[in-house]
């Protein structure tokens, strides 16, 4: 699809917005679909179609006349995806999204395909969960199959004191008594992610691994490169490349991984789209994750994923606004720092409103700059 064509995106949140901005840079016109008319992407696209994630009719309107369609959120109904795929090339494709959008299918797929994951059980009832909590040693992260993100749709068992029958029952209620994955709570040394890209010709490239820090299960900051040994770095990149090929994705796949204190490299979860932990690719890499998604979606050659300069981001959650307007000028006085706001108009605790990014001579310097800027807000 040549520049000048119409690119459509399922979802108009910040990931859709930044993808749309990259597409516009290359001369594409952009249309998005989102439940919210004033979604972050709406301010930078040609057209916003309002519709819920399972709205087949809205999906049809999105895809009609589009030269290619991609997505920025995996929670799109399979019927809506199938309708889109009938009308226009849908990249990454229906089947990988069907597997990834349900954590019970995703974890099972990973284990069945020989990718290392921590001990887990799929649970469908409170009885299953009692049984799983015992089998997993009593310390458990319980994650709802569909729709969870940023720690939402999760409950923890046995982390503040031993698991009891009551705490198991409570956790089952907390996630709404829906099919879920129960995972053994792992002893983490650090968290990393690797972004891979694959185009319709089957060409695959990985980015350098990012090191991620979460607070309250939400990404707080991320830095490129991760600073691991060359051996671990190569293993992590090869893992993401193998996985994107095996899933047959035409687009992006971000693989979140755990490095445990026992030295194991385990897969946590998958995202078939741009990811919060690669926003710094806009600053540090030859090709940003957003441009890369445009390239794969439009069947263009993949961009160079090399790191040019170390880069970091720190998320700005709604909490930052709760005590008054942040002091952006003070933050922007820190060398190398840029401000990214998503035009979300109602700050709420835990809501991702924007991020700060910085480059530096080293990963430590980039991270220190972005954290200093955040303190100054
Ligand atoms: N099994 C686990 N052991 C230890 N920490 C975990 C485990 N599962 C999740 N976490 C922590 O919670 C965070 C969010 O969980 P994740 O499965 O990535 O869900 P989300 O969809 O909310 O990102 C992880 O990045 C990690 O910090
Ligand atoms: Mg996650």
For 278-326, how does the pLDDT look when each residue is reduced to its tens digit (9 = 90+)? 999 999 999 999 999 999 999 999 999 999 999 999 999 999 999 899 9
Which of the ligands is closest to the CA of residue 212?
A: 1
Residue 3 pLDDT class (50, 70, 90 cuts): confident
Q: How far is CA 46 from the centre of its chain?
A: 25
Tell me what the pLDDT averaged over the chain comes to. Answer: 97
Residue 2, pLDDT > 90, answer no
Q: Tell me the CA–centroid distance for residue 365 and ligand 2, in Å.
A: 25
Task: Lay out the sheet containing 29-34: strands in order across.
Answer: 47-50, 29-34, 6-10, 68-71
What contacts 187, CB < 8 A, 6 or more positions away?
Answer: 260, 261, 262
Q: How confident is the model at residue 1 (pLDDT cuts 50, 70, 90)?
A: confident
**Do strands 154-157 and 210-215 pair parallel, antiparallel, or not at all (unpaired)?**
unpaired
Mean pLDDT for 50-64 is 98
Q: Centre a 10 Å sphere on the Cβ of residue 325 and count the other Cβ atoms it contains.
A: 8
Residue 151 alpha carbon, nearest atom of ligand 1: 22
Burial string for 264-290 (b: 16+ CB within 10 Å, else e) reads eebbbbbbbbbbbbbbbbbbbbebbbb
User: In this structure, are residues 337 and 370 in contact, taking their beta carbons and an 8 Å threshold?
Assistant: yes
The per-residue pLDDT for range 6-29, each reduced to its tens digit, is 999 999 999 999 999 999 999 999
Q: Are 280 and 208 in contact (CB under 8 A)?
A: no
Asked if 65 and 83 count as a contact pair (C-beta separation under 8 A), the reply is no
Q: Is 188's C-beta closer than 6 angstroms to any atom of ligand 1?
A: yes
The reported pLDDT for the residue numbered 235 is 98
In order, the DSSP letters of 293-326 are: HHHHHTT-PPPP--BSS-EEEEEEEGGGGTTSS-
Q: Is the CB of 288 under 6 A from ligand 1?
A: no
Place of tokens 């969960």: 129
d(CA 217, CA 370): 20
Protein residue closest via CA to atom 2 of ligand 1: 185
Which ligand lies nearest the alpha carbon of 215? 1
What is the per-residue pLDDT for 191?
Answer: 98
User: 149 C-alpha to center of ligand 2: Å?
Assistant: 7
For atom 14 of ligand 1, the residue with the nearest CA is 217
Q: How far is the CA of 219 from the centre of ligand 2 (A)?
A: 8
Residue whose CA is at the smallest distance from ligand 1 atom 8: 141
Average pLDDT, stretch 225-234?
97
Q: Is 186 in the pocket of ligand 1 (CB under 6 A)?
A: yes
Q: Is the pLDDT of residue 150 over 90?
A: no
Q: Please, which pLDDT band fits residue 151 given cuts at 50, 70 and 90? A: confident
pLDDT digits (tens, 9 = 90+) for 102-112: 999 999 999 99
Burial tier of 217 (Cβ tally within 10 Å: 0-12, 13-18, 19+): middle
Q: Which residue has the tokens 């047959």?
A: 248
Residue 159 Cβ < 6 Å to ligand 1: no
pLDDT band of 121, cuts 50, 70, 90: very high
Predicted pLDDT of residue 327: 97
């Amino acid at each position: 699809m040549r520049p000048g064509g119409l690119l459509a995106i399922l979802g108009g949140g910040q990931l859709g917005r930044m993808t749309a901005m990259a597409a516009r840079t290359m001369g594409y016109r952009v249309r998005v679909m989102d439940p919210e008319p004033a979604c972050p992407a709406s301010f930078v696209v040609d057209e916003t179609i309002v519709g819920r994630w399972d709205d087949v009719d809205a999906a049809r309107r999105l895809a009609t006349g589009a030269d290619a369609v991609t997505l920025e959120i995996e929670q799109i109904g399979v019927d809506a995806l199938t309708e889109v795929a009938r009308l226009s090339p849908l990249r990454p494709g229906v089947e990988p999204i069907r597997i990834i959008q349900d954590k019970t299918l995703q974890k099972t797929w990973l284990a069945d395909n020989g990718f290392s994951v921590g001990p887990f059980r799929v649970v469908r009832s409170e009885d299953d969960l009692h049984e799983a909590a015992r089998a997993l040693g009593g310390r458990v992260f319980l994650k709802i199959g569909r729709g969870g993100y940023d720690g939402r749709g999760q409950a923890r068992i046995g982390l503040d004191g031993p698991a009891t029958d009551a705490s198991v029952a409570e956790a089952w209620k907390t996630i709404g008594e829906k099919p879920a994955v129960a995972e053994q709570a792992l002893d983490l040394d650090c968290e990393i992610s690797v972004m891979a890209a694959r185009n319709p010709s089957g060409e695959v490239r990985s980015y350098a691994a990012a090191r991620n820090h979460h607070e309250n299960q939400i990404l707080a900051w991320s830095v490129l490169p991760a600073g691991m040994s060359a051996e671990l770095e190569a293993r992590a990149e090869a893992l993401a490349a193998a996985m994107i090929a095996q899933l047959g994705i035409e687009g992006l796949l971000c693989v979140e991984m755990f490095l445990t204190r026992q030295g194991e490299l385990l897969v946590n979860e998958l995202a078939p789209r741009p990811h919060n932990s690669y926003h710094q690719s806009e600053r540090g890499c030859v090709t940003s994750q957003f441009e890369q998604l445009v390239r794969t979606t439009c069947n263009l050659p993949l961009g160079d994923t090399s790191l040019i300069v170390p880069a970091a981001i720190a998320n700005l959650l709604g909490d930052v606004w709760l005590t008054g307007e942040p002091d952006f000028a003070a933050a922007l006085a820190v060398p190398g720092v840029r401000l990214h706001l998503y035009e979300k108009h109602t700050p709420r605790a835990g809501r991702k409103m924007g991020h700060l990014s910085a480059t530096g001579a080293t990963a430590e310097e980039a991270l220190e700059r972005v954290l200093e800027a955040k303190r100054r807000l």
